[in-house]
Amino acid sequence: MTDVDLVVAGAGGGLAGALRGAELGLDVLVVESNPHFARGNNTSMSTAMVPGPGSRFQAAAGVSDSPEQFLADVAAKTHGSADPAVSGTLAGVGAELVEWLADHVGMPIELPTDFTYPGHSVPRVHTVPGRHGSSMLRYLVDAATAAERVDLLVPCRLVDARPAPGGTRVAVVEHPDGQREEISTRAVLLATNGFGADAELVRMHLPEIADARYHGSEHSRGDALRIGSAHGAASGCLDAYQGHAGLSAAAQTLLTWTAVMHGAAVVDGTGRHFGDETTGYSEYAATLAARPGGRSWMIFDERIDGLCRAFGDYLDVVGAGAVRTADTVAELAAAIRVPADALAEEVAALGAVSRGEVGDRFGRTVEAELSAPLHAVEIVSALFHTQGGLLVDANARVLDAGGSPLPGLYACGGAAVGMSGHGAAGYLAGNGLLPALGLAYLAAGHLARSTPSPTTPSPAAAPSATSSPRGDR
């Protein structure tokens, strides 16, 4: 007899696993170390983009897509280095997932078609109004709080997931006062994200971005990697990460890279643009970090400003007063202290690229010419979250070095190997949230299928000190 059917460590994307498990008749305990998780974890800090190839939302918008097309895009972006089992299962479940988020969780899912992120051949990233992770997480938290079969233990930290007889696990959780509690469970889902907040692990595995600012949850400390490794789990692609080249230096908020896709340019202190920004914001983070001082400016106009206002992050940047505005290129150059002649030449050259008169020296494309008045935001590079982790199979089961599943142990999101291959260049928009939500969803489904009669714990067996996050909202 176990206390609960499933312990989920991490109340971000892991909540999808908790809700899916409860829907399928499992009793679930969510353990979360961050008392302010509803506004401070990586899910809440994201742009709420979830790829769902072949969804009904795409069909309604007239977008033709399929898991196979998405996999082809993943293969192209990662140069074939993405984990095939994880990529395949997530491509196949993406549409089902976003439709479940709409139908079961109650999210007002929408499909942006006004732009396409780098690497995606068609619009397929689904989101919620405001295009901000805090809104998406709020729906998950509200649904979990209302679910009778889901309890939340906050703040408590999972410190171990020992194997127990019969393929079950003992979840060891640590309370804020240092006291530890053991909870018997049929399975543990490691949903604690990656190791971005552990400077030593970052320097070991991601040296090219180690000196950039970390813009993620301070609770992403590599707990899943340590717990899994202690029990024989294998890991992979630990050099993979999502960087971001568009962190506003003044607002400390991500400036949407949509601006670049609509024609914005990134220039350094010399007033020159220095690469193909449209390759992707993740890999461009290291390019930006390598510039003198590690700071640059994103240059855009009123048209792009209007297109970016659908993003809550951008509105935060505007609200923080981080946007400089000028009526001419020369005035903007003076405002941001870059050489006016160089900036004027770059703006003119990119305009010529947009008209098809010349090719850009770095190979980028430009949607439209920039026209006055012009805007600029100072940006720095950032590490958002790591993308490698524990090896898992198509059901999110953690694997050992021989490729066999470890009984009763699952992983999702930054705790798992993900689908971004190696380095930063393999990251596609949404490929952080899809493994977080999708693998959690799949893990719960697998556990439910392997648990014909879910355990119903007696009141005496329920874990102590359970608290609701209602006060954090």
164-213 pLDDT per residue, tens: 999 999 999 999 999 999 999 999 999 999 999 999 999 999 999 998 89
pLDDT at residue number 15: 98
Q: Which residue has the higher pLDDT, 106 or 470?
A: 106
pLDDT of residue 464: 38
pLDDT of residue 174: 98
Domain 242-383 fold is Flavocytochrome C3; Chain A, domain 1 (3.90.700)
The pLDDT score that the predictor gives to residue 451 is 67
What is the reported pLDDT for 432? 94
- Same CATH topology for 4-240+387-472 and 242-383: the answer is no
pLDDT score, position 407: 98
User: How confident is residue 468, by pLDDT bands cut at 50, 70 and 90?
Assistant: very low
Ranges of each domain in the chain:
4-240+387-472, 242-383
> What pLDDT is attached to residue 452?
58
Percent of the chain with pLDDT over 70: 95
Residue 280 has a pLDDT of: 87
pLDDT value of position 471: 30
Mean local confidence (pLDDT), 226-253: 95
pLDDT digits over 440-460, tens only?
999 999 999 996 544 444 333
pLDDT of res. 465: 38
Reduced 3-state DSSP string for the chain: CCCEEEEEECCCCHHHHHHHHHHCCCCEEEECCCCCHHHHCCCCCCCCCEECCCCHHHHHCCCCCCHHHHHHHHHHHHCCCCCHHHHHHHHHHHHHHHHHHHHHHCCCCECCCCCCCCCCCCCCEEECCCCCHHHHHHHHHHHHHHCCCEEEECCCEEEEEEEEHHHEEEEEEECCCCCEEEEEEEEEEECCCCCCCCHHHHHHHCHHHCCCEECCCCCCCCHHHHHHHHCCECEECCCCEEEEEEEECCCCCECCCHHHHCCCEEECCCCCECCCHHHCHHHHHHHHHCCHHHEEEEEEEHHHHHHHCCCHHHHHHHHCCCEEEECCHHHHHHHHCCCHHHHHHHHHHHHHHHCCCCCCCCCCCCCCCCCCCEEEEEEEEEEEEECCEECECCCCEEEECCCCEEEEEEECHHHECCCCCCCCCCCCCCCCHHHHHHHHHHHHHHHHHCCCCCCCCCHHHCCCCCCCHHHHC
**Which CATH number is 4-240+387-472 given?**
3.50.50.60
Give the pLDDT confidence score for residue 470 in this predicted structure. 28
Q: What percent of the chain has pLDDT over 90?
A: 85
Across 47-59, average pLDDT: 96
User: What confidence score (pLDDT) does residue 133 get?
Assistant: 87
What are the pLDDT digits (tens) for 322-369?
999 999 999 999 999 999 999 999 999 999 999 999 999 999 999 999
Local confidence band at 150 (pLDDT 50, 70, 90 cut-offs): very high
> What pLDDT digit, counting tens, does each position of 274-303 carry?
999 998 889 899 899 888 888 899 999 999
Q: What is the pLDDT of residue 1?
A: 81
User: According to the model, what pLDDT value does residue 460 have?
Assistant: 33
Lowest-confidence region among 10-19, 113-122, 175-184, 261-270: 113-122
Q: Each residue of 19-45: pLDDT tens digit?
A: 999 999 999 999 999 999 988 788 988
Model confidence pLDDT, tens digit, residues 359-410: 999 999 999 999 999 999 999 999 999 999 999 999 999 999 999 999 999 9
